[in-house]
Every structure is written in C-alpha cells, then in structure tokens.
A and B are shown apart, each in its own frame.
Chain A
Amino acid sequence: MTTRRQLLSAIGMIGGATALYQAMTTLGHAAETQFTGPPNLSGARTGTSVIVLGAGLAGMVAAYELTKAGYQVRILEYQPRAGGRNWSLYGGDTYTELGGATQHVAFAPGNYLNPGPWRIPHHHRTLLHYCKTFGVQLEPFIQFNHNAYVQNADAFGGKPQRFHEVAADFEGNVAELLGKAIDQKALDSDLTAEDRDRLKVALREWGVLDENMRYVKGLRSSEHRGYDRPPGGGVNGAPTPSDPFDFTDVLKSGVWENMAFFMSMEMQTTMFQPVGGMGMIGKAFARQVQPLITHNAKVSKIFQDKTGVVVTYSDTGTGAVSEAKADFCVCTIPLGVLNQIDINVTPEKQAAIAAVPYSNAVKIGLEMKRRFWEEDDYIYGGHSFTSQDIGLISYPNNHMFQDGPAVILGAFSRSGLSANRLAGMTPEQRIEAALAQGSVFHPDRYRKEFSNGASVAWSRVPWTLGCCARWNEDTRKAHYQTLVAIDDRIVLAGEHASYVGCWMEGALTSSLDAITRLHRRALEA
C-alpha cells in the first residue's frame, strides 16, 4: 500500500516543489486557511432584499458582498457604532458597562485600548484581504519578545525573569537529560545507532550543550540565556558568562507554557495590527456600508414565513417600535443575545442557539507618562506573562523611542476565576488591581508613571453579554451543523458559526460561507 508520504515524495520528484505544495494543499497539509478569495457573487434576482442583523465584521462583509451581488441590503445595529467587537477606545470616548458604571477615557491623542481583538495572524487571509481592499494600514504586532518577563509566584521567589534566560535553561536541561538517556542506553530499542548519533548532535546544537553534552555556565550557554557582561568593544570587550538557573525553579516557573503558547498556529509570528488601533478595521468596513446601517436598533422579534422575514426592533433612544421586511435574513447577533430574542426557527436550531455559552475576558489599558519599559528595561513590544489574575501585560508595538505617554495593556485575563474576579470589580478597583499586580514587573515605576486607565469586562458588555462562543467537542457534535444550516430564509453568521472561534477571521469566513449558501438558496427560490 502506498502511504501518503510515499505519494507526496513521488509527486515531489516528478513535479517539483510547486506540484508538491499543491498536492499537499489538496491533501490538507500546509494550508493555513480555507480562504481562496472573495466570493464574487453575482446575478441576484432583481428586487431581492436581505436584512442583516448586526454591524460587526460578519454583518458588514455580508452587506458588502451581497450588495455587490445585486441584493437590496439593510443592516440593523444595536449600538451607535459599527464594528462590533472590533473596537478601540480612545481619549474622549465614554463607555458604560452593564450595571451602569461609566468610564470617561482620558488617553492622550493617538493612544488607545483594544478591548477585543488586538493581533492578526499572518494566515488570517480573509481579514488581511479585506484590510488591503479597504485600505487599512497594517504594522507589525510584536508577538514574541525574548526580552520580556515571565513571572510565577511558585518560582524564583516570585521574581520575574527574562524569557530568554528561563527558556534557554529549560531547553538546555531537557537536551542534557535526553542526552543522558541516550548514553544510558535507554533509547537503544527505539532508535538506530545512526539516529542516536544524529539526535545527540541535534541536542548539543539546540540545547547549547558543551563537548561533554552538559548544559553548563559558559559563553556557549550565555549566547542563548544572556551574559553577565555582554560583549563590547575595546579594553573590556570580552563578555563574561552568566549562571544558569536552578532547574527546579525553571520547572516551577511554568515557562514551558509560555513557550508552548507561541507555538500554536494562531500565535505564531508574523502578526499584525492596524495603525491607529484595531477599531480602524471596523471603521474601514463601515465606510463601505454605512448608508445601509440603522443604528440604535434593538431587535425583539425575527419572524419568517413563505413571503419573507419581518424583524421587529425598537429605537434604543426613543423606544419607537418599527418593522423591517426582507426576503432573507443574515443574523450575526451573538448567541447569548439571540437566545433571548423571539425567533421562529426550528426547535433544533433554537436548541443550538441556546447550547453555546460565552467566555469572559477582561482587558485593562494603563496610560503611563513615559516608556520606562523601553528606556529602563529595553523591552520593545511583546508580552510579560504572570501567574496573577491579570495574565500578562503587553507593551505598545508602535511609536517606539518616543517621548510622551503610552498605553500598556495592563491585563488580558481570560481564564475562568481570574477573569471573573476582575470583571466583578468596579472600573476603579480593576485599575488598582492592574497596578498592584503589574508592579511585579516594573516596581517603583509602574505606579509612579501611571496617569489614567480604562477597562472592559466582556461579561458586562451590553451588546454581547460575553466575549465569544465557547464550543466543546460535545456541543460541536450535537449542534454545530444545525446552527450553521440555512433555516428557510434565515442564516446565522459570526465567529460563533465557525471553527475559528474568537477571531475576526472566524466571523468573516463564517459570513462568506453563509451568504454564498444564501445566494444559492435565493436563486433557487
């Protein structure tokens, strides 16, 4: 029997690298996205209308592409702002969360907090396509900074250490131990003699071991972990090596979790951010479809029958109730909200809408009077991780080396207890918690340089009641296909209707798939 590998090898020999890549893509390897280009729908029947619920990215891309296809499109949006979870808070903005707490953001001009999405993987090609098409200027997002800190209450007495020191020591020790296992013949039954030799070479190189296969203090290990005195010029140009950490502390630090974090496809560099804040993407989409949007529209009922769809909504300012009619409906309302709206879809679809809980997440922006992390600690972008509730602090990726105030992301908390702890606080208490916890990385300066802050707890965001859909294997199996299927005249779209959950790419790919199917359905009607 020919294995897949043999087949690919043969294709590679016959057709060269391009053929090999194409074959691998066809067989499901190598490809990182399902996006092959915009849908280019065309030929809508004259006069056919679609109502889109929600002016987030899913709703706006649906409106944009359906309008191009010839449909009459209208969008209803609960908020006075388009963009949905694609959102940046700037100085002068006001934000009122559920429960009534209102924050007046006081950041300096040009500074911002991205409460929702904040980084774009290089392989989220749908999003990158529309950014280019709509003229959104992108800049690098410094995802991986070896010189930022890792901090864990259980290791090094709670003192933060540079990522490059701890990671180098983790790899060096693992390499040395595996080398010992080979020398103690523990791998003889698993590896040929030749492969054992190859692996030893790899371990020596990768783990920066000495000629005796030991991870020891020396210029070699210091090339990875850093020097006591770095190399320089002239009389004192010679570097002096640093002492590796105690391996027990390295293990306790959980640094492998931070290392693994950067290995997942979604987190691999290169990553991007829009110049001026993530909200620039929502604004660019809105420029394409703004005349179609009715803002401040709170949907209370979605009713379909043989003749079309009727959406009942009220104006959030005046309370005036209206109806909007269309032939079809693309509904991008988050499931937790949709679950409370009267909608006549099948019982199975209702069950699917009700089956998916939403995650919580908390982001806190702290404006500092100067870039002390750059000026004093030589950290330029990237994240310092902590075992405390704030999860991490992240340094701004733009305007480096400049004077004046800059905004640090003072918390991105997503795990259950820690996010809920921060979310349950008042905005003032959140700032205090972020200052207290973040000070572990930059003691003396963190509070001293602090100017003002803002926070968003997603469990209290009035238009989502949560951050994003939390599927698991059981709910996927029981409900996903039902959720994404067209229900007569209604189709759902959004990150919740994708396998790229929590990402803008999921919202877009879901929406493009939904409208492609809806277009086919409309032509068959």
Chain B
Amino acid sequence: MQNPSPRVLLMFAMAIAAFAVPALADEPGGLTKASDPVTGEEVYTQVCQACHMANARGGQGAAVIPALAGNPRLAIAAYPIAMVVNGRGAMPGFTDILNPTQIANVVGYVRTHFGNAYTKPVTPQEVAKIEGAK
C-alpha cells in the first residue's frame, strides 16, 4: 500500500480498530452493560463497598482498608472528594467510571450515613473543581 488516503485509513481503522487495543493484563474480552448507579446509595453499594464493606467499617489484613463509618476526616467534603477523584495507595481514582454527579452523590451519602452527620450538601461543581486540579 502506498500512502493511503485518510479515507482508506479510516475504513481500515473501522474494520480493525479494536485489534490494536493492547491487553497487557489478563482480562476478559466481555463488555459491561449493567445500568450505571445514580444515587449515592447505589454508587456506594456498587463501587465503594467492594473495599470499604457494606457497613463502611473497612477491613484489616496485611494492611488496612480505612473505615468510613464514624470518620471525622469526612467533615470537610474536599477530603473524601479528593480520595475518590485521585485515589491513594492501593485505592484507584474513580473518574474513569464515575462522573462528578455520581461522586457528589456518593460523598454526600457517606457523609450523612454510617454514623456521620455532615449535612452540608456536596455539589458536582465541587467535584469538578477538584477534578480540574488533577
């Protein structure tokens, strides 16, 4: 093939686009089609409790997954927002699967449940601001 035109490149790209995706990790090829969580409770159940547990008490093994229940560090919303946006240590950031509204909803939910009573609402704008600072 000599100097393929953009149109031809596009056509080939459409035909074989996915074949170029690197798969360095041992992962399945399936797609995900379950409906996305919306409310704070839904996001907590479907994302956060995978590590922090249904009772938000975390866990302790060779290392610790911190409890969110009764956690005074949640007093300032920017702290848990930054955790969800940026991650820390083994915890990844979640901006690849959660949008600012979902993050605001779940941070608001955790701050008002599990023995926490920080009632000031959390807005997607606050989340977007911290995401913008990444």
A: residues with CB less than 8 A from B are 78, 98-100, 117-119, 152-154, 174, 178, 181, 186-187, 189-192, 195, 254, 256-264, 266-267, 298, 333-337, 339-341, 354, 357-361, 383, 385-392, 412-421, 423-424, 457, 459-466, 468, 470, 499-503
Contacts and interface: CB of A to CB of B under 8 A. Distances in A.
A266 B24 contact: yes
Contact of B46 (A254, A412, A414, A424): A424
A257 B15 contact: no
Given A178-B15, A340-B89, A501 B24 contact: yes
Contacts of A186: 7-8, 11
Interface string B5-41: 1011001000100110111111111111110110000
15 contacts: A98-B53, A189-B5, A258-B30, A260-B19, A339-B63, A357-B87, A357-B90, A358-B92, A385-B30, A392-B29, A412-B28, A415-B32, A416-B96, A420-B46, A423-B50
Given A190-B1, A357-B93, A419 B50 contact: yes
Give the 4 A-B CB pairs with smallest separation, nearest first: A336-B90, A462-B61, A261-B29, A98-B59
Given A98-B51, A354-B89, A387-B33, 14 more contacts: A98-B65, A190-B8, A257-B29, A258-B29, A266-B23, A336-B91, A361-B27, A392-B29, A413-B28, A415-B32, A460-B50, A462-B60, A463-B62, A502-B25
Nearest to B28: A391
Most A CB contacts (10 A, CB to CB) among B21, B30, B89 go to B30
Given A174-B15, A417-B47, A187 B8 contact: yes
Given A186-B7, A260-B29, A460 B59 contact: yes
Contacts of A389: 32, 34
A499 B32 CA distance: 27
**Chief secondary structure at chain B's binding surface:** loop
Nearest to B91: A357
A181 B4 CA distance: 14
Report, as a range, how many residues of chain B touch the other chain.
Answer: 35 or more
Given A174-B15, A257-B18, A387 B50 contact: no
B61 A463 contact: yes
Contact of B25 (A152, A153, A334, A468): A468
Most B CB contacts (10 A, CB to CB) among A181, A357, A457 go to A357
Interface of B: 1-5, 7-8, 11, 15, 18-19, 21-34, 36-37, 45-51, 53-54, 57-65, 87-94, 96-97
A360 B50 contact: yes
B11 A181 contact: yes
Nearest to B3: A190
Nearest to A97: B59
B24 A502 contact: yes
B96 A421 contact: no
A186 B10 CA distance: 12
A57 to B, nearest CB: 15
A338 B79 CA distance: 23
Given A465-B65, A501-B25, A99 B50 contact: no
A178 B58 CA distance: 55
Contacts of A259: 18-19
B26 A153 contact: no
A414 B25 contact: yes
Contacts of B61: 78, 98, 461-463, 465
B93 to A, nearest CB: 7
A266 B11 CA distance: 27
Contacts of A459: 50-51
A52 to B, nearest CB: 16
